[in-house]
Amino acid sequence: MVSTPYCFKWLAITLVIIPAVCPAEEPEPAVSNRTVPLITVSFQQGVNGYAGTVDSEIWALAPHTILESNPNSSTDADNDGGESQCVLRFDAIVGPDRGQIPPHATIHSARLLVSAFDQGSTVNLHRMLVPFDRSITWSSMISGISADGLEAVRHKDSFTFGKIAANSSEIIFDVTDSVRTWVSGETNHGWVFLNTGGNGWDFYASEFENVSQRPRLVVEYSLPSQTTDVNPVNPR
């Protein structure tokens, strides 16, 4: 028997190691924690030299009587048989001087604060569209003021239910939209208080002897160029 020779073949295996390619680490995006500082200004008759408040009451039963010097104002749809309305304006609040609101500033909030002493019906606050001065009367406004889109805007800026809290007589009206309008360039003619019922609502005017209870306008605004870094960028 003839033996069959075996043939052995060696296979050469070449290992090729390809290193994994990882993408380069990208820098973290910059984290910006920039805030715009708010500046607060306040306008109140007799405080810090401010003397630009103009306010008065007009009454249908005394159509030619100037009531501007009264220390208090009453708004009532039926004040002894005739309607009474109140007007209020803060002059010189927009301008370049210290203590004023710069033109075209960004208004974040604006609040009108009055001290009420006699609660009554709901009162709506409307932005005036026509001028008035200290000699305003019911007759000079041609039978009072109407929120008709001509004398005052139809949409109320703010309102109060006419109630007075037990711990404070201060009533706050949000007048941000009004102040934004004036800062944008429209003329400031102030507001009119219109009572929706026959229960009069009274508050202290700018002539009241206690300065702290006079009407006050508080505005928070910012300027576009003013920013502050609260945290550093990309803190490690």
Specify whether the CB–CB gap between 190 and 54 falls below 8 A.
Answer: yes
DSSP string of 68-103, one letter each residue = TT-SEEEEEEEETTEEEEEEEEE-S-BSSSTTSBPT
Whether 23 is in a domain gets the answer no
Instruction: Answer yes or no: is 80 within a domain.
Output: yes
Query: What's the pLDDT tens digit per position in 136-147?
Result: 999 999 999 999
Report pLDDT for 9: 41
Q: Structural domain of residue 218, as residue ranges?
A: 37-228
User: Average pLDDT of 37-42?
Assistant: 96
In a domain, 30, yes or no: no
Q: How many domains does the chain have?
A: 1
Res 82: pLDDT: 95
Residue 187 has pLDDT above 80, yes or no: yes
Residue 11 lies in a domain: no
| Model pLDDT for residues 100-128, shown as the tens digit of each residue | 999 999 999 999 999 999 889 999 999 99
Say what the pTM is.
0.80
Say if 3 falls within a structural domain. Answer: no
Residue 70's Cβ-count burial label (10 Å; 0-12, 13-18, 19+) is: middle
Domain harbouring 196, CATH code: 2.60.120
Whether 162 is in a domain gets the answer: yes
DSSP 181: H
